[in-house]
Amino acid sequence: MSLGTVVTEFREDGIAVITISRPEKLNALNSEVLKDLDEALDAVQERVDAGTLRGLMLKGAGEKAFVAGADIGELSGLEVASGERLSARGQALFQRIEDLAVPSVSVVDGFALGGGAELAMACHMRIAGEKATFGLPEVSLGLIPGYGGTQRLAALVGQARAIEYIASGAFIDAATAERIGLVNRVAEDPEGEALKLLGKIGKQAPVAVRSAIRAIRGGAGGVGAAGAAAGGTAASDAGAAGDSGAVTRDSIADGYALEAALFGQLCGTDDFKEGTTAFLEKRKPGFTGK
């Protein structure tokens, strides 16, 4: 499935692969890419809802970049109202990725700058190649990250490091990204590693995986996590991190409550019965996602 700047492959193993494809522009984000990505996510969501998708991998075309930021030519013409609209549009689009009920992994091998770093962080997990370089250098343009980067970076690496990297515009190499928790791991073959990871998760009980993602995001997890996990919205519920990015006693208590509710719900599923029976019978389970 090709939409011009975004190519989507639905693999037989239940994994969707979305590729941002503007290699001549280092896959920089512009209005066309955002539109195409939104349409690609529509197709992904349809398969998630149908129960036929187990995971999503997001990558960039070419060898130089995942996504090397936004199209500065488009940004240069922004004014107050149009700038706010663009930011809100990007936030809503990237939130769709974080809100997916299946695990998502971004594969970063090359530059992930500005909106590219924000896109990578919207995925549940990140695998980096050895030459990966992250950065949120918007301050050099007189801006700040506008697609959720201020919130997600703080949630991943802590407030102090987020302020350091965003306020200085400093780049983050692959080894540092792994050390500070920005990426899950650095791999010689990041795409293969991502597929291996999604394949491993895909062997588990689908309904339990979905619930695990909801519980983690609804407790100390992602942007707008508590609201999304409990059926609310990111706008009405700022999530466990809150506006400060700090996990509070109340947010931990909310996370425990959500975890207990989901744990109880899972005890009534076919997958729970199959998983426990298979364990006791010393055989591999045959999960159905129900």
Q: What is the distance between the alpha carbons of residues 273 and 285, in angstroms, rounded to a whole number?
A: 10
The DSSP 8-state label assigned to residue 246 in this structure reads: P
Element (H, E) at 102: none
* Close Cβ partners of 253 (under 8 Å, ≥ 6 residues apart): none
Phi, psi of 118 (to 5 degrees): -65, -40
User: Nearest CA to 190 among 131, 117, 118, 111?
Assistant: 131
CB contact at 8 A, 175 and 128 = no
Closest by alpha carbon to 220, among 262, 264, 251, 174? Answer: 251
Which of 138, 193, 259, 274 is catalytic? The answer is 138
Strands ordered across the beta sheet of 125-128? 6-10, 15-20, 55-60, 104-108, 125-128, 185-186
Respond yes or no: is residue 24 known to be catalytic.
no
E strands, the chain, in order = 6-10, 15-20, 55-60, 65-68, 104-108, 111-113, 125-128, 133-135, 171-173, 185-186
Contact by Cβ (8 Å): 110, 20: no
Q: Is 259 a catalytic residue?
A: no
Task: List the catalytic residue out of 118, 188, 191, 281.
Answer: 118
CA distance 86 to 31: 9
* Backbone conformation region of residue 76, classed left if phi is above 0, alpha if psi is from -120 to 50, else beta: alpha
List the catalytic residues.
Answer: 118, 138
